[in-house]
Structures are given as C-alpha cells and as structure tokens.
C-alpha cells in the first residue's frame, strides 16, 4: 500500500501530529517553520543547534521528542545544506532523508513543512509531488520472500500531510498529490516485480500479474500470446531467445481505453525474467543481478497502472515480451540466423544480446495498433551503464520533439534521462555477411548500436528507446529495484493530457 497524501494549512505549532518535519540550512539560522516551532517551544531547536546535535548538513536528521509549547509529539529537523545552493536536487535529497528517518519512527502519520522551502524554478506542485514520491519510495519494504513475521507491534507510517498554506494553490496541490499517489503505486508495482526472484517472477508470472491488473481495473483489456500464437505471427527472433528455457515465453498486451478513438501511445518493455547470457554465458560474479533484466517490462507495466489509476484521457497499449534466456540443449546459438516478424533476418553473434531480439518482434507487433508514439524501456546494455552510470537513463530517438518531452518529464520527476545520438553513421557496425543485420555492433558505442538495431524495426515511426540498465536497480548485495522509469513515463503521459 502506498502512503496516503494530503495537504494541510495548519501552522507548524498547532499541527497535532506524531511528527512534524522542518528544514535547517547549514548556516543554522532558523526561519520558516523551524523558527516558529523554536519560538513556541522556548528555543528547543536552537538548543539542538547549540549542542551540536543539529548541524543543517545535508544527509543529517535530528529528532526532538516531546517539545513543550507545540501540538506535535516530535519534530524531525532535516539538514538542507547550503542555503544559496538549495536547488531541485537538494530538495529531492532532503525529502528522501526525511522519508528515511520517518520510516524508522514508531508513528503512523507525519506533517511535513519541507514543501514551504523556496526552490528556484519549482512551484508548490513540484515540491508536493517530489516530497510525496520521496516519502513513499523510502517507506517501501520488500517482504515477499522472507518468513512471514507476526504483524508488526510498532505502528508504521501510513499517511503524510504536506504544508500548502497558500489557499489559491491548494486545489492544485490536491491534483499534484493525486498524480504523485498514482505514480507511487506504479513505482511500487514495478519495484515488487523487479525484486521478486526469477523462480517466482517468470514469464507466466508476469502474464498473471497483467491479467490481475486487467481484472481489477475497469476499462483495461489484456491479451497474452502463447508460443504457438507467436509462431503463427512469425516472431522467430523472440522465439529464438525463448527456445532454451523450460519457462514458455509470453507476449503480454494490455490496453487502456480512455481516449475514445484517438491513436494510442504504445509502451514496450524488455521482460527477460532472467538473463544468463544463454550459450554466450555470462560470468558467475554478479549474474544474480540479471533477475532485474525484466525491469523495462516492470517499468511499462507500472506506468500503465499509474495511467489507469489516473484514468488519463488517452489510449495506451502496453506490450511486454516476457522470456527467459537460458543455456540448454535446445538453446539458440551464436551464428544462428533468425527470421523476425518484420521479415528481416538476424545473425546471432552473441546470445547475450537477447534483449533487442525480443524487443524487435514486440516493436513490430506494436505497429499493429497504429500508435502515435512508441516508447520502449529496456535494461539493454552494460555499455549504457559505462556511458552514463547509475543516475541517468539513456535516451535514444531520432525525433527531437519527443526527446525534449521525455527529457522534460524525467527532469520534472527527478527520473532523469540523457540523450545519446542515433545517427545512421553507426548502422554499418551491424552489418552481417549472412543476414540482414547482426545482433551485436562491436566494441564501440554499445548502447547506441543496440538502439540502432531497434531503429530498424520501427519503420520511421515516432519512437524513443530508454536504456534503463543503470537506473532500474541499485547494485550490490542488497540492491533493490528503483521503479524507474515509471515516474518519467507517467509524467510524459500526464503532460500530453494538459
């Protein structure tokens, strides 16, 4: 369950809440909500500062329990860093720090005054959405595969109210929070699918989740194509990847009809539920992270759920090729030539470049819906992680307007992308002596040549590719799925409805 969000016009000293959240810059000068709380409580925050407990440094939070003179039971003082450098990124960080601290407290609700802080170039809506999404992101816990615990004895955070004192802004604020709540539930859906192990979250499981989503939401239809259906359509590329796995492939098609007879938006997500590399097998170290190779699928499914919860006045089709890439006696092999649904033949030079092989048939299938725009999301290349690291998704498109719209949506939700060129100059790296195209493009520009491969299957349509290999999960032993690029995709759709 996502947190419940609301706005409040209460003053900080009168808000009756288990915990009040206020900010402190590193110059340690009290102002805004912190100054008012300090005044009413006889200098309680100033004493924290004087004692060295609260420094205002970013990343630091300090808890004040039971201050006199105010209605709140606790005050959480969040370090904001340098006042003059307090920008969107700093606000985002403070909101996440606050969320993390709140998660550890035995409380069910809180009231945050962070939304009253000045952020250059950002309005109240942005602050509400950012603070709400950060709080929900921090409140998420993965529990699915632990031994069930008794119901927690301590209360858990379930609701948070944000200061929005300006009455003219409050209607807007409610809309911003409605959008944030929908994005948060899409993010949670995507995180949960990403985090589940591949022995549970296999292609059949993804299909079952899509069916459940359709059952639970009016206006959603679902269709799942089986191996035989895909064979009839000639999806030889997708089926080539699938042939080494005991888990049969699924092609999931979800449709939301909220836009009458308008042409749909189409989202396509890479759903490799586990990527061993196949016969071109990956090294053992770190292979477990390849359970996250369906995070593109999780991202488009999450974004779809958000769009449905918001009942956006658009048509949206969400296509997920769900396949497991395994080595086996029946596996496809390097040098195999596959015939894709488009008719183009593909020489497989590396069975670990499988994502593009399932996406190309999904992209061809997507065109059946005559979409006005196609966006795919995929954990497609390690090369994208080398190029952009863990902070930006790689965006590739030939359409400058679409690029601007997607980049803007990413900036607005702090789910940022960065554009890489998709020039035809790179296409010759995919030349093959035995088929129309090879599935790998050599050692240079691996993220771009993967994008160039996909470009061959979209027939000049308005299309963008998001490589989320670096952004969809946090690496390491306890790294969890991030839910990206759900915020970017949903914001993109919301902006199209404005």
In the complex, the residues that contact Zn ion under the rule CB under 5 A are 272, 275, 293, 355
- Of the residues 240, 296, 410, 446, which one makes contact with ligand BES according to CB under 6 A: 446
Residue nearest to Zn ion (CB): 275
The listed partner (Mn ion, ligand BES, Zn ion, none) that binds 381, CB under 5 to 8 Å by sort, is: ligand BES
122 is catalytic: no
Quote the least distance from Cβ 428 to Zn ion, whole Å: 24
- Smallest distance, Å, CB 193 to Mn ion? 19
Q: In angstroms, what is the minimal distance from the CB of 379 to ligand BES?
A: 4
Which listed residue (36, 250, 356, 416) is catalytic?
356
360 binds ligand BES per the rule CB under 6 A: no
Token pair of 331, please?
């596996």
Judged by CB under 5 A, does residue 324 bind Mn ion?
Answer: no
Smallest distance from the beta carbon of 282 to Mn ion, in angstroms?
7
Q: In this complex, which beta carbon is closest to ligand BES, that of residue 24 or of residue 353? A: 353
Q: In this complex, which beta carbon is closest to ligand BES, that of residue 237 or of residue 379?
A: 379
Distance CA 163, CA 382 (A): 42
Residue 469 within binding range of ligand BES, rule CB under 6 A: yes
Residues numbered 264 to 283 that lie near ligand BES (CB under 6 A) are 275
Beta carbon of residue 442, minimum distance to Mn ion (angstroms, whole number): 16
User: In this chain, which stretch among 16-24, 114-122, 206-214, 377-385 interacts with ligand BES, using CB under 6 A?
Assistant: 377-385
* The two three-digit tokens of residue 447, written as one number: 């993220």
Number of shown-chain residues binding ligand BES (CB under 6 A): 16
Q: Per rule CB under 6 A, is residue 448 in the interface with ligand BES? A: no
Which has the closest alpha carbon to 465: 452, 474, 477? 452
Q: Which residues contact residue 212 at a Cβ distance below 8 angstroms, ignoring those fewer than 6 apart? A: none
CB of 108 to ligand BES, least distance (A): 38
Min dist CB 210 to Zn ion, Å, is: 20
Tokens of 206: 């993804």
Pick 37 or 396: Cβ nearer ligand BES: 396
Does 352 engage in binding with Mn ion (CB under 5 A)?
A: yes
# residues contacting Mn ion (CB under 5 A): 3
**Residue 467 contacts Mn ion per CB under 5 A:** no
170 catalytic per annotation: no
Q: 388 contacts which partner out of Mn ion, ligand BES, Zn ion, none, CB within 5 to 8 A by kind?
A: none
Part in contact with ligand BES (CB under 6 A); list of ranges 3-11, 350-358, 366-374, 458-466? 350-358
In the complex, the residues that contact ligand BES under the rule CB under 6 A are: 275, 293, 350, 352-355, 379-383, 385, 440, 446, 469
Write out the catalytic residue numbers.
282, 356
Q: Which residues bind Mn ion (CB under 5 A)?
A: 275, 352, 354
């Amino acid at each position: 369950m996502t947190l419940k969000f609301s706005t409040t016009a209460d003053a900080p000293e009168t808000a009756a809440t288990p915990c009040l959240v206020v900010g402190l810059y590193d110059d340690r000068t009290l102002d805004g909500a912190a100054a008012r709380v300090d005044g009413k409580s006889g200098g309680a925050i100033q004493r924290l500062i004087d004692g060295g407990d609260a420094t205002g440094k970013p990343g630091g939070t300090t808890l004040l329990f039971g201050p006199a003179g105010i209605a709140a039971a606790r005050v959480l003082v969040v370090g904001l860093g340098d006042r003059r450098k307090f920008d969107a990124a700093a606000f985002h960080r403070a909101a996440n720090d606050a969320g993390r601290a709140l998660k550890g407290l035995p409380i069910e609700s809180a009231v945050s005054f962070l939304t009253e802080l000045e952020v250059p170039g950002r309005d109240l809506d942005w602050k509400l959405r950012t603070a709400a999404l950060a709080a929900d992101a921090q409140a998420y816990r993965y529990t699915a595969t632990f031994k069930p615990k008794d119901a927690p004895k301590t209360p858990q955070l379930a609701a948070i109210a944000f200061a929005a004192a300006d009455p003219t802004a409050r209607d807007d604020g409610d809309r911003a929070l409605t959008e944030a709540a929908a994005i948060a539930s899409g993010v949670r859906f995507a995180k949960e699918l990403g985090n589940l192990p591949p022995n549970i979250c296999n292609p059949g499981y993804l299909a079952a989740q899509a069916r459940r989503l359709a059952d639970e939401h009016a206006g959603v239809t679902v269709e799942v194509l089986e191996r035989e259906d895909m064979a009839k359509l000639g999806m030889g590329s997708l089926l080539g990847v699938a042939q080494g796995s005991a888990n049969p492939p699924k092609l999931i098609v979800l449709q939301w009809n909220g836009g009458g007879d308008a042409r749909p938006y189409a989202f396509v997500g890479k759903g490799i539920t586990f990527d061993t590399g196949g016969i071109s097998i990956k090294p053992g170290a770190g292979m477990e992270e390849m359970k996250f190779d369906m995070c593109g699928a999780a991202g488009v499914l999450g974004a779809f759920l958000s769009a449905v919860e918001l009942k956006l006045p658009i048509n949206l089709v969400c296509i997920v090729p769900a396949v497991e890439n395994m080595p086996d006696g029946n596996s496809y092999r390097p040098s195999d030539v596959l015939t894709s649904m488009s008719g183009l033949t593909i020489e497989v030079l590396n069975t670990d470049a499988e994502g593009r092989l399932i996406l190309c048939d999904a992209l061809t299938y997507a065109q059946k819906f005559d979409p006005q725009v196609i966006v795919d999301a995929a954990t497609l290349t390690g090369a994208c992680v080398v190029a952009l690291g863990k902070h930006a998704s790689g965006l590739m498109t030939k359409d400058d307007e679409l690029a601007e719209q997607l980049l803007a949506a990413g900036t607005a939700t702090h789910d940022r992308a960065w554009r890489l060129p998709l020039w035809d100059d790179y296409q010759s790296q995919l030349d093959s002596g035995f088929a129309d195209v090879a599935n790998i493009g050599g050692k240079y520009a691996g993220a771009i040549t993967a994008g160039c491969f996909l470009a061959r299957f979209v027939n000049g349509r308005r299309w963008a590719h998001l490589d989320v290999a670096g952004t969809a999960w946090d690496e390491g032993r306890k790294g969890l799925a991030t839910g990206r690029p759900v915020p970017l995709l949903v914001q993109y759709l919301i902006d199209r409805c404005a």
